[in-house]
Amino acid sequence: MTAYPAPPDDDARYLALKAKDARFDGCFYTGVTSTGIYCRPVCRVRTPKRENCRFFVHAAQAEQAGFRPCLRCRPEIAPRTSALGQVFDAKPWSIQDASRILAGQAARLLDLPEAWGDSAPTVQRLAQRLGVSDRHLRRIFEAQFGVSPLQYLQTQRLLSAKQLLTDTTLAVSQVALSSGFTSVRRFNAVFAAHYALNPTQLRRNGAKHGHDATGQSLHIRLHYRPPYDVDAMLQFFGIRQVTGIERVTLEPGSQSIGKTVAVQCGKTRYTGWLVARFDAAGHRVDLRLSDSLREVLPWAMSRVRALLDLDAEPSAINSLLRTSFPLGDGLRVPGTLDGFELAVRAVLGQQITVAAARTLAARLVQRFGEPIETPIAGLNRLFPSAGALAAATGDALGELGIVRQRQAAIQAIASAVAAQRLTLHAGADVPGTLAALKALPGIGDWTAQYIAMRALRWPDAFPAGDVALHKALGVQDAKNPAKEAQAASLAWQPWRSYAMIRAWATLPAAAAGRQVTVSSIK
């Protein structure tokens, strides 16, 4: 949805198009007037003539101009772009940028299925959530992105449906509902009007590769922009993996992470498993999910993108951080599939080693987690639900080795999440959630900022009191190291979460020839 870090003008974009440059995948699209098709910069078809090219910074703009998505490069599987890429760039900003920021927030919320719960997003609900009028929202959104919020949302829904039709065997009716359409009839009409073919026609060319041979799992492709340090990401998860709920494989050629999953959707709870395997040569992740998650497939895809930070824009981030952190251009911020799980594990990791925190988490899973059958060796339990931990007694938690202060914090978080007073995902209000977290017993600024960084996916989170950060920045001997770290961080806004990862990566544990093993955080 943003022009940054795409090349600054159309001639430069044409050069990127000719080079099939994967760094700009999803940052702009090319409409070809001679064919009526729009493509990603990495499309392998013959490069069109310059005079036949029109460039757009978002797929919705290309579709509004009358272009249809390419069936070969498939714009729907391009990496997404962060609203912050356009809202914040490497230049200072002021109060005059309020409309840009608000429009970017609106687009970010429209991109997140979990931001709306069981209800479909509307312009009215979006405006209410942002505290502005419908008219004002439409005006600033169109000024910023060149399309209305409804046009933007409709394009997102159509592209989501196109991917599900091509990559899975979901029924057309289920594809329509999963993509946000309220009726199959409406979906068929809109799809045919925009793409000049009906869903069934597209299905004939896809879907046959969407299941494995047993029909028990779904397969989806998720792309990212290089550079991406796969080793660093999987090492981060690997040294924190908890027996029973996750499994990390680091061997070249089979680098992957497997997780058990529980999703609450309305009154229905879906459980299953997934495995995300990296294909570094193709700049993508091959996602395999249990068939039991088909009803919540868009949610699962969105959460895996967040887990692995697949939508980061390295060019925008590196342009700001490279001076302070010349190494680690491929580092990403590790996320989570479940914000509640992340919050509990953050509490367990307070003031103890990573290994000790992992041991406590494993005990918690074995004591309170539900058993689950999966075809993946070692994946046999679910992380405890908020309800289960809210009902747990202090004695039961104490038997696992969890001290009283941590017990109170875990039960407070669990009670707030179970009662839906606290939501921990990328669609949550960041300032409000930070305040709510710090109001709970045992939750300080470090824990709240860490949760914001990984669960809320806030790229500007900064736990200034982190001891490892002080060491990395060389301020550990200052009178007030947290204040010194906070002052230094102002130069890294709005990408301070990425600065944290890079700072941690410079610690001695990452030395000895290894550029980026982020092992100092809980």
The answer to whether the beta carbons of residues 130 and 106 sit under 8 Å apart is: yes
DSSP letter (8 states) at residue 214:
T
CB atoms within 10 A of CB 66: 11
Please say if 89 is a catalytic residue: no
CB atoms within 10 A of CB 362: 18
Full strand arrangement of the beta sheet holding 268-279: 217-223, 284-290, 268-279, 256-265, 246-249
Instruction: Cite the DSSP H helix spans in 439-480.
Output: 445-454, 467-473
List of residues 6+ apart from 192 with CB closer than 8 A: 198
The answer to whether the beta carbons of residues 320 and 90 sit under 8 Å apart is: yes
From 25, 27, 39, 167, the catalytic residue: 39
From 21, 25, 329, 466, the catalytic residue: 466
The answer to whether the beta carbons of residues 59 and 155 sit under 8 Å apart is: yes
The answer to whether the beta carbons of residues 299 and 180 sit under 8 Å apart is: no
Chain-centroid distance of CA 16 in Å reads 26
Please say if 311 is a catalytic residue: no
CA gap 424, 230 in Å, rounded = 26
The answer to whether the beta carbons of residues 230 and 256 sit under 8 Å apart is: no
- Reading the block at residue 87, the tokens are 């809202």
CA gap 111, 180 in Å, rounded = 12
Question: Active-site residue numbers?
Answer: 39, 466
